[in-house]
Structure 1
């Protein structure tokens, strides 16, 4: 049986294993076995009597933790079970804090340590009072616009329109004992950058590589202003659109779905850290990547974000305010919505990954579009085959041979090249194989 989130096996005792107990206490608790190998088999410990005497005092004096310590016997071999419960306060070992995540014990540093200690006190970063701020730093216009949005979305009662700014912010729980919190400044401040130097957003347009910067924009202001300005700039200067008509009705279609981009930005504002790096949007010929600092909070992983999951946010005050404005849902469906919007638009599935201390979401253009295909080294038959599939749903090797008068071997080679470029996928086997566009 493999080691689990809350189980660790060690063949003998070393004092450094106190850090594992610290990790369990700081996470969800767990059990440390002494006298088992890394497969969970009992190998026994010879000095179990001394350990049973020493360990309770050692754990208590070094960590300030009380553990249940039990001696077990199996086929004449003795092993020790040390059960640690989760603690509300942070538990350190030699001045360092550890956290059990998956099957590893991680030392917490920097922002992770700060957030961990805040959570243990029932606080989050965005709930801390900003001592240097006053109501002169609040943008009244943004507050009034928020109230209109909240009433229109029916997430604020109509009488909110008659409340003064201080009462509105108090009702949002972003004022503590009369003092503005960090979230109040970020959401409604006139110049949040005066307080948090990385609270802005950068957009860069690149060539084929990250070293080929063609143009860039910097967007400042509070989060509501950044959202509006970023969407306007992205969809007028960086993201192309095509125009079609349904009768006399003009239909504008963007190469990336508007709602997906909007949701990514809202997620970034809600889940990022605000202490070092700004949000960065990198626009390439075939993709657009959104990156924000701040790794996913446990137990979330990039894969879990693709399915129904619990909503866990780094900045709950910001998330709650966006919810009241009607901007987001509160059920952890943001990333699922992004994926659904891309699928509806006929795009590839977005890539979600943890990258250089943060989270990146990449949207890819339609790889079967004429614009994208024209940039690849494809022959006319391959280009026509993709058009055929768009119209008919699929193509087979036999159809390809018949349409373009090529050999069986050439047809396979041309189609496999399109598969390797991730434009097509193979469906079925052998004679039943057909090729479809990969969405």
Structure 2
């Protein structure tokens, strides 16, 4: 990727940003380990102290890329796969390493635990080591780390995908070679087993379609197409089920079949037959919808095809910074780190920031408008336009939210509890909280105060037309 094509990158080092002017493998390993032990970060190799591209001479950038990757992934214990993006400009090379917050803290390099203090990597003090270990304890309590009790991996999970993930982990991370050929042994080597059972992350990744109704009913996706915006009766409808890794390819194939194709003739009168949405963009957004969805939510991933756009919806939320700034660079903070790690090993996932930014690049390079993300009704809605001059229609509010907007006046103040009792008594407290957040995101409410003193003030924004 050319350096000039990248979005705005950080210009100062800090807790989550580090610049390395040369491809120093040892310095890179210490920095990555420090970010893994903290809240994640972005390592910019080939950039000077001001965040300016300087690059380094290399006749084969891929060689340095592989050398850095191999050294860092092998030097850090426990080992983690990394997403590294090679950068080039004027014959010089550089690279971006996006590091999530590690889920298996503490991470060591040559027996030492490093943490990030300001803009420097330092050996951890005893107090800092205690904090790092405490963060691991909190990570172990996450939904995806809990054992899926009474689950028989041979019956419920995809053996070929588990074996392929394990094979790639052996190649890249040198995970321990299992003493037997049991699926549970592979999952234990991948960190996807607990207390003698597969974890829920293993289930979210590898559940066979037949096992979904019993163990994880939300591991589903639907593909619908409509002839107009009324969305009253689908022209076609297809339901898919399975873990994220099981669904990835079938979902892309179903989307590609449903999506219209565009036929163009090039200057040399060559046939150019392509999807109405660039395949790399489509694949990336589907992978993100599966890997980063909220698996504690009972809803499924949804793809809806209209004459001028594709809408992808998944349960969960997107970082508000990314929604607010088209050029935002995010530290990778996956919703499901263990799922994202396996997707990385399988070659599906990009880093959170660069991957979604690449969707923008693929769309604009194809002469299409940039994609639009928004948090909506407890999920993330992504719109990919299939025409270069779409008629931009505001997305109407859900009926419950539209009713609230029509019944309140600018300046009125309300709490979450009052909203739940008066306008959303039929839904759960979690759904009511999602309603409030969407009203804030859409500009109908403004938050006042924090903690137990939080309330919300109605703004003067009028309701979106339906």
How does the TM-score come out when normalised to structure 2? Answer: 0.48
CA distance in 1, matches of 2:206, 2:255: 22
The answer to whether the 8 Å contact 1:147/1:160 transfers is: no
Which residue number corresponds to residue 322 of structure 1? Answer: 343
1:385 corresponding residue in structure 2: none
- Separation of aligned partners in 1, 2:276 and 2:323: 24
- Matched-pair contact (CA < 8 Å) for 2:321–2:328: no
Within the alignment, does 1:183 sit opposite 2:201 as a pair? Answer: yes
Partner SS state of residue 213, structure 1: coil
Deviations 1:11-34 (A, max 9, x none): xxxxxxxxxxxxxxxxx9xxxxxx
- Secondary structure (helix, strand or coil) at the match of 2:329 reads coil
Aligned counterparts of 1:246 and 1:317: Cα–Cα separation in 2: 47
Alignment of 1:417-428 (within 5 A): none
Tell me, yes or no, if structure 1 residue 201 matches structure 2 residue 221. yes
2-structure distance, mates of 1:305, 1:194: 41
* Unaligned 5+ runs, structure 1: 1-27, 29-116, 374-439
Cα 1:128–1:246 change in 2 (3 A) is: farther
Match of 1:289 in 2: 311
Change in CA separation of 1:314 and 1:325 when aligned onto 2, cut-off 3 Å? same
What is aligned with 1:366?
387
Distance in structure 1 (CA, Å) of the matches to 2:139 and 2:165: 30
How big is the shift at 1:328?
Answer: 1.5
Distance 2:336 2:200 in 1: 10
Deviation at 1:125?
A: 1.9
Partner SS, residue 323 of structure 2: coil
In structure 1, the partner of 2:290 is 269
Question: Over the residues paired in the alignment, what is the CA RMSD in angstroms?
Answer: 3.3
The answer on whether the counterparts of 1:202 and 1:218 sit within 8 Å (CA) in structure 2 is yes
Q: What pairs with 1:106-125 in structure 2 (closer than 5 Å)?
A: 120=138, 122-125=140-143
In the TM superposition, residue 301 of structure 1 has moved relative to its aligned partner by 4.6
User: Which residue, out of 127, 130, 140, partners 2:145?
Assistant: 127
When residues 197 and 347 of structure 1 are mapped into structure 2, their CA distance, relative to the original with a 3 A threshold, is same
State the alpha-carbon separation in 1 of the partners of residues 332 and 259 from structure 2: 31
The separation in 2 between residues aligned to 1:158 and 1:129, in whole angstroms, is: 21
Counterparts of 1:355 and 1:187, CA distance in 2: 25
| CA apart distance, 1:133 | 0.9
Q: Separation in 2 of the partners of 1:250 and 1:187?
A: 39
Q: 1:129 to 1:360 in 2, by over 3 A?
A: same
Deviation at 1:244, TM superposition (A): 4.9
CA apart distance, 1:304: 4.8
Residue segments in structure 2 that go unaligned for 5+ positions in a row: 1-38, 40-134, 392-466
Give SS of 1:280's match.
strand
Residue pair 1:118, 1:125 contacting (<8 A) in 2 also: no
Aligned-partner SS, 1:332:
helix
**Selected match of 1:169 from 187, 200, 207:** 187
Displacement of 1:128: 1.5
Q: CA deviation at 1:142?
A: 2.1
Q: Are 2:161 and 1:142 aligned?
A: yes
Decide whether aligned partners of structure 1 residues 147 and 244 sit closer, same or farther in structure 2, where only a CA change above 3 A counts: farther
Name the structure 2 match of 1:411. none
Alignment of 1:237-386 (within 5 A): 237-242=258-263, 244=265, 251-274=272-295, 275-296=297-318, 300-304=321-325, 306-330=327-351, 332-367=353-388
| Alpha carbons 1:147, 1:156 under 8 Å: kept | no
Q: What SS does the corresponding residue of 1:217 show, helix, strand or coil? A: strand
**In 1, Cα distance between the equivalents of 2:179 and 2:136?**
35
CA gap of 1:206–1:331, structure 2 versus 1, over 3 A, is closer
Deviations 1:231-270 (A, max 9, x none): 1111123332426579798643211011111111111112
TM-score w.r.t. length of structure 1: 0.51
CA distance in 2, matches of 1:132, 1:305: 45
Deviations 1:166-209 (A, max 9, x none): 33322221111322111111212222342121210001101222
Deviations 1:26-62 (A, max 9, x none): xx9xxxxxxxxxxxxxxxxxxxxxxxxxxxxxxxxxx
Distance 1:223 1:123 in 2: 21
Give the structure with higher Rg (CA): 1
**SS at structure 1 position matched to 2:298:** coil
Structure 1 consecutive aligned stretches of length 4 or more whose deviation exceeds 4 Å: 117-122, 147-151, 156-163, 243-251
Aligned length: 252
1:221–1:305 distance in 2 versus 1, CA, 3 Å: farther
SS in 2 for 1:173: coil
Secondary structure of residue in 2 paired with 1:360: strand
